[in-house]
Structure 1
Amino acid sequence: MTNHDNPHHLTHTLVLGAGELGMAMLRHLAPHQKAAGHPLAVLVTPGSLTTPTPRQVEDHAALRALDVQFVPFDLVERSHEDLVALLRQFDTVINCTGFVAGPGTQLRLTRAVLDAGVRRHIPWQFGVDYDIVGKGSGQPVFDEQFDVRGMLRGQDRTEWIIVSTGMFTSFLFEKAAGIVDLDAGVVRGLGTWATQVTVTTPDDIGRCTAAILFDEPRIANQVVYLASDTVSYGQLADIVESVTGRGVERILLTGAALQADLAAQPADPMARYRIAFARGDGMAWRQSTTYNAQRGIPTTNIRAWLENRVK
């Protein structure tokens, strides 16, 4: 008898990672799992349990209150075989690790999920539409994400759901990203002012993904689109002006300017991201096509997100 024949394991769910997205995912999944009488676990680094940061102490207390079980495991140090043995214990695996463990992480985790025969998998694809972007975008991370999709589609043992979210809303406002600098009162348009970008907050991703997992009829082997908001860079500048109550300096970074930036700083990952987000194609989709819009799930648009930050 395999563990998948054991009804106790049928909906034993593991979330990989308890960062910003992992925490949001666990918060929204926990009530669903509890109502169904199903266990929920989170994979964390051993160090986060033995020598936690103040933030981790707070997060772990919140997770314990939700009856989330902790699974300490070092993804960097432990072998593929160890990882497969661990994942075999779970029916559903949701990957919220991001790229912190470096290039190749997502292919490695996907291979382990498939080798373990996990029944349902939501990979770390909480980003742009890699099918449209394809390979050779100049962003190695995007190439890897495209390959993860090929790996999932090339098998039929493990059901998968890809959740496309665009960039995290907060990324627009990170100084390092070079799009909005609130302190300096600058908004940079990428490509053209009409180029659009889709963004979703981690909280909205968690809420919608929990709904997707428990949806009837069952969603399987497809790409589901989410969007807290889809705006052009021109509209983004208008929103920043409206919410902050002051004018912004608008700087357009054309494709040529972005390529020149990358040539000057070839090792800067943000320079590559800016080129990617200037393309529009695969970076944005209409709200009306999204799961959240079609199901009437409320989301936090850019204006509301920003109003909460600049009160």
Structure 2
Amino acid sequence: MSHPRSILVLGAGELGMAMLRSLARRTAGMPGVSLAALLRPAALESTDPAKRRDVDELRSLSIELVPGDLAAQSEDELAGQFRRFDTVISCTGFVGGKGVQLKLARAALAAGVERYFPWQFGVDYDVIGRGSAQDLFDEQLDVRALLRAQQRTEWVIVSTGMFTSFLFEPSFGVVNRERDTVHALGSWDNAVTVTTADDIGMLTTEIVFAAPRIANEIVYVAGDTVTYRQLADALDAWRGVPVQRAEWSVPYLRDELAAQPDDSLRKYRVVFAEGAGVSWEPARTFNAQRGIAVCGMTQWMRENLPVVDGVTV
């Protein structure tokens, strides 16, 4: 098959919407190619203005809206929905809780879809390995093992690093704009790879339609790879006012996690502080090798950080 005929995207959150917009642009001039999104019935029927805008936008893009609940439905029920699509791309994130990613992978295999893109838009789970501070990552390795153990369904894993916006998320704590502070996770020389949701959608679309066909491999992409020192320096330069700097060591972050062992953000901080599997050289990425322009961290800051009285806040 030269290109997919029917594509189903699971979820329409930040990444799902970016993915669907990009796929819609790419397939608009392709006769015989259909695009669908699986959304919870509650989202389809919601009166929330933001959700209504997203649903209306998807309809305006001629995207079929398929009702479904990935957490509540059984593997067999999901397989029944997946069966009429040859490509399934999961943009669900971890919100469904433990077991959902493995259930989706099993459903895709049971449905006999030709190609499956699991929710692995993040770090390099193979390098991190089992038993990390973020226990959800072990299931990601289970998904990889399941896909690698069979040959009927092609799979593609897109490793993106952290969403660029998450690096600046107040709850994550790396950039604390209220206190004008940057916290280094583990060390100032630790690096993190970041990619915007829009670029992940665009690059995944390029991977879907790439020739020669990409199958049964991990594809690395990156908007940027920066150390926490480079992050602080970039904020200094952009703000024109130095930020305060504080290092959160691995032992400190492990103690913080021990105090609240169910705190997902504290789990993430430990993983990123340990530094394994969370960054890679941009030169080795799909976008660099294909000469595809992406949004770097500094550009994201210019476009997204608010400025008050000439100072970035």
Q: Deviations over 1:59-94 (max 9, x none)?
A: 122212211110011222222221111110110000
What one-letter code is carried by the residue in structure 1 that aligns with 2:259?
A
Conserved? CA contact 2:185–2:248, under 8 Å: yes
| 1:34 lines up with 2:35 in the alignment | no
Structure 1 residue aligned with 2:190, among 186, 195, 203? 195
The aligned counterpart of 2:204 is 209
1:67 is matched with which residue?
62
Q: SS at 1:18's partner residue?
A: coil
Between stretches 115-124 and 138-147, larger displacement belongs to 138-147
Is 1:15 aligned to 2:12, yes or no? no
3-state SS of paired residue (1:35)? coil
- Gaps in structure 1 of 5+ consecutive residues: none
Matching of residue 291 in structure 1 with residue 280 in structure 2? no
- 1:25 aligns with 19
Deviation (angstroms), 1:265: 1.7
Letter in 2 for 1:215: A
**Mapped partners of 1:23, 1:51: distance in 2:** 17
TM-score, scaled to structure 1? 0.95
1:45 corresponding residue in structure 2: 40
Once residues 258 and 51 of structure 1 are traced to their aligned partners in structure 2, the CA distance between those partners, rounded to angstroms, is 39
**Deviation for aligned residue 1:255:** 1.2
2:157 to 147, 162, 165: 162
Give the 5 Å matches for 1:240-255: 240-255=235-250
Query: Which of 187-196 and 31-40 deviates more?
Result: 31-40
Identity among equivalent positions (%) equals 51
Q: Describe the superposition over 1:211-265 as per-residue Cα deviations: whole angstroms up to 9, x where unpaired.
A: 0110100000000001001000110111111112221110101111111111222
In 2, Cα distance between equivalents of 1:105 and 1:245: 45
Mapped to 2, the partners of 1:210 and 1:111 lie a distance apart of 23
In the other structure, the counterpart of 2:252 is 257
Instruction: List 4+ stretches of structure 1 deviating above 4 A.
Output: none
- The answer to whether the 8 A contact 2:127-2:277 is kept is yes
- Paired residue type of 2:294: T
Q: Pick which of 257-266 and 37-46 moved more.
A: 257-266
Shift of 1:305: 0.6
Map of 1:147 onto structure 2? 142
Distance change in 2, residues 1:10/1:301 (3 Å)? closer
Query: Which blocks of at least 5 consecutive residues in structure 2 are unaligned?
Result: 308-313
- How far the C-alpha of 1:266 sits from its partner, in A, is 1.4
CA distance in 2, matches of 1:183, 1:279: 26
